[in-house]
Amino acid sequence: MTALRPFACTIRVFDPVSGETIEEHVLPVDSPDAEHATASTLANAASFTPKTDGDTVRSVAFCCTAVEPRR
């Protein structure tokens, strides 16, 4: 089994049409490497961010802007 390492991933939630930042989060994640840390954190951000406002679909996208070892 691969040992998990602690990372801090910075995720930017933004409007892809205007480019305007909606939110930015630095999230802790334990993962075997930075690649997996980024992928799992992006998936969680997409899962937990509202993509609708009532009956209206929000224009929202996600990107990882940093992944660093966490102490």
- The model's pLDDT over 3-47, given as tens digits with 9 standing for 90+, comes to 999 999 999 999 999 999 999 999 999 999 999 999 999 999 999
Residue 7 domain flag: yes
Residue 47 domain flag: no
The token pair at 2 is 């691969």
Residue 39: per-residue pLDDT: 97
Q: How many domains does the chain have?
A: 1
Residue 35 domain flag: no
Residue 9 domain flag: yes
Please report the DSSP string for 29-70 in residue order.
EEESSHHHHHHHHHHHHHHHS--EETTEEP--EEEEEEEEE-
Residue 47: per-residue pLDDT: 93
Residue 40 domain flag: no
- Please state, as a whole number, how many other Cβ atoms lie within 10 Å of the Cβ of residue 30: 13
The whole domain housing 7 covers 1-21+52-71
**Pair 61, 17: CB distance under 8 Å:** no
